[in-house]
Amino acid sequence: MKMIKGKCGTDCSTCTFREKFGCRGCIEQEGRIFWGECDIYKCADEKGYAHCGACDKLPCAKLTEFIENGHNPDRLSNLQAWRDAIIDTRCGLHCVGCTYKEPCGCGGCIATNGHPFHGECPVAICCQDKGLTHCGECGTFPCALLTQYSCDPVHGDTPHGARIEQCRKWKADNT
């Protein structure tokens, strides 16, 4: 059975209320589920998020309270897994939670066509020039340029190579 993702992290395809109340999930029902209007759906939808895993405030107080009072204990772990599956950069470094995103008005390398807050990104430009979604799709992955960015002692990943591993996951998920 295909997973039906709720904005709050519920796997609606396994929810007992689906059959009991004929609920098709918050996405299909636009936030009006069997018990009424869902504030979590409304919040994520207003921000343009497919689910709360795309939010840099995960888990916020509203979501935490909702999860604690709910019937699906896997919501938070689902959201964290769904967040990791979001391809939001070319190099595998997630924009969610980036401290430069809001203060610098950065939309990330995909949204800015390879020009995030710090200017042109050679890794993103390389991917775009090759018509790739992310570095993991490249025949020379992981290349010297990506490795240099990932393992840079000042601005690199913690732990080193984290974005390379993320690109490997994205590639594995899409093959």
Average pLDDT of the segment spanning 77-101? 84
In whole angstroms, how large is the CA radius of gyration of the chain?
A: 18
Residue 126 lies in a domain: yes
Residue 70 lies in a domain: yes
Q: Is the dihedral of CA 127, 130, 131, 132 positive or negative?
A: negative
Which tokens belong to 42?
Answer: 């409304």
Question: Which pLDDT belongs to residue 66?
Answer: 86
Clarify whether residues 18 and 79 are in a common domain: yes
Question: Which pLDDT belongs to residue 67?
Answer: 85
Average pLDDT of the segment spanning 80-93? 86
Clarify whether residues 126 and 80 are in a common domain: no
Clarify whether residues 78 and 116 are in a common domain: no
Average pLDDT of the segment spanning 45-73? 86
Residue 101 lies in a domain: no
> Pick from 15, 125, 139: which is nearest to 73 by CA?
15
Clarify whether residues 16 and 78 are in a common domain: yes
Answering whether pTM is above 0.85, one says no
Residue 22 lies in a domain: yes
Give how many domains the chain has, as a whole number.
2
Q: Inform me whether the pLDDT recorded for 32 exceeds 90.
A: yes
Residue 25 lies in a domain: yes
Structural domain boundaries enclosing 146:
108-173
Tell me what the pLDDT averaged over the chain comes to: 88
CA distance 7 to 25: 9
CA distance 108 to 96: 10
Clarify whether residues 112 and 81 are in a common domain: no
Residue 114 lies in a domain: yes
Residue 99 lies in a domain: no
Clarify whether residues 18 and 54 are in a common domain: yes
Residue 56 lies in a domain: yes
